[in-house]
Homo-oligomer: A and B are copies of this chain.
Amino acid sequence: MSVTNIDPEIIRLLKGSGARMTQKRQRILEALSSFDRPATAEEVRERAGLAPSDLVTVYRNLEAFQKVQILQRLPLENGTHLFELTAPGEHYHHLICRHCHKAERLDVCLSKSMEAKAKAKGFSQISHLLEVYGVCEDCRA
């Protein structure tokens, strides 16, 4: 029950940032890692076994996770977001189904070329977004 399947490195990073390991935080982490696709905040809350009113806590934790770069936030076309645990410092790009949010990672990434180009133009604190959206076979009307 209290045994976690969370990557120790993730726990180390969180503690290193001054964070404490609460039961809810642990549950949220476990919930996140149990998904095989990026999930909404609400889905995370539910899978973590938290009450609806705990959605705030979920958001606060997601923010904390993002700060230590173990979580990625993906924008959907409707203005909402999906969240996904990442290897520390990594980020991914996806092919995402607009309906069921099933997603698979794409093996493309522009980090190098893009960041170089952006830096050459005087930009700093560079990040980028690359996502492909569609409707998957199962969700096709």
Q: A residues touching B (Cβ–Cβ < 8 Å)?
A: 75, 77, 79, 81, 95, 97-98, 104, 106, 108, 110, 114, 117-118, 121-137, 140
Contacts and interface: CB of A to CB of B under 8 A. Distances in A.
27 contacts: A75-B75, A75-B79, A77-B127, A95-B117, A95-B118, A95-B121, A95-B123, A98-B125, A106-B117, A108-B110, A108-B114, A118-B132, A121-B136, A123-B134, A123-B135, A124-B134, A124-B140, A125-B135, A126-B132, A126-B133, A127-B133, A128-B130, A128-B131, A128-B133, A129-B129, A129-B132, A129-B133
A134 B130 contact: no
A128 B127 CA distance: 17
- Oligomeric state, in copies: 2
Contacts of A110: 108, 130, 132
* A contact face: mostly helix, strand, loop, or mixed: strand
A104 B117 CA distance: 12
